[in-house]
């Protein structure tokens, strides 16, 4: 009995030391740079009457499943962003150029100001 308890406690200790930090790390490093860039865009939006983004643009959902976002299948990076017909008003953040896989951007019917980063042309 005592032996069983001891090995149980040892297992707990091992779990605590080796497994917990690893899973905590996975959760933290899971947030992609594309997610941060898109959230920085979201934070610059001053008006979005239909709250489209509030349905999916959260860190606990992969950005490849966010409304308006399409990912490059192989790299799981944002390939196109289509925020047309959402009547958003806001500002393009300076970090927008961090979406290095972006090849298509559709902001029709939205009212964004600010410059697209030079590298996007």
Ligand X SMILES: *[C@@H]1O[C@H](CO)[C@@H](O)[C@H](O)[C@H]1NC(C)=O
CB of 70 to ligand X, least distance (A): 8
According to DSSP, the β-strands at 77-82 and 69-72 are antiparallel
How far apart CA 51 and CA 87 sit, in angstroms, is 10
Question: Nearer Cβ to ligand X, position 7 or 100?
Answer: 100
Question: Nearer Cβ to ligand X, position 2 or 73?
Answer: 73
Count CB atoms within 10 A of the CB of residue 52: 17
**How many Å separate Cα 59 from the centre of its chain?**
5
Q: Does residue 104 interact with ligand X by CB under 6 A?
A: yes
Question: Nearer Cβ to ligand X, position 5 or 26?
Answer: 26
> Residue count at the site for ligand X (CB under 6 A)?
16
Q: Interface residues for ligand X in 28-67 (CB under 6 A)?
A: 30, 33, 36-37, 40, 58, 60-62
Q: What phi and psi, each to the nearest 5 degrees, are found at residue 57?
A: -80, 70
Question: Nearer Cβ to ligand X, position 10 or 103?
Answer: 103
Q: Does residue 98 interact with ligand X by CB under 6 A?
A: yes
Give the interface with ligand X as residue ranges (CB under 6 A): 30, 33, 36-37, 40, 58, 60-62, 82, 84-85, 95, 98, 104, 106
């Amino acid at each position: 009995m005592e032996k069983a308890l001891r090995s149980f406690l040892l297992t707990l200790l091992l779990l605590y030391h080796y497994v917990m930090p690893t899973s905590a790390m996975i959760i933290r490093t899971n947030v992609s740079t594309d997610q941060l860039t898109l959230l920085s865009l979201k934070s610059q939006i001053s008006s979005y009457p239909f709250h489209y983004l509030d349905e999916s643009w959260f860190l606990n959902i992969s950005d490849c499943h966010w409304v308006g976002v399409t990912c490059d299948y192989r790299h799981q990076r944002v390939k196109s962003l289509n925020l047309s017909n959402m009547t958003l008003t806001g500002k393009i953040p300076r970090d927008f150029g961090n979406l290095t896989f972006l090849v298509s951007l559709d902001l029709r019917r939205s009212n964004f100001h600010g410059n697209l980063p030079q590298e996007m042309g």
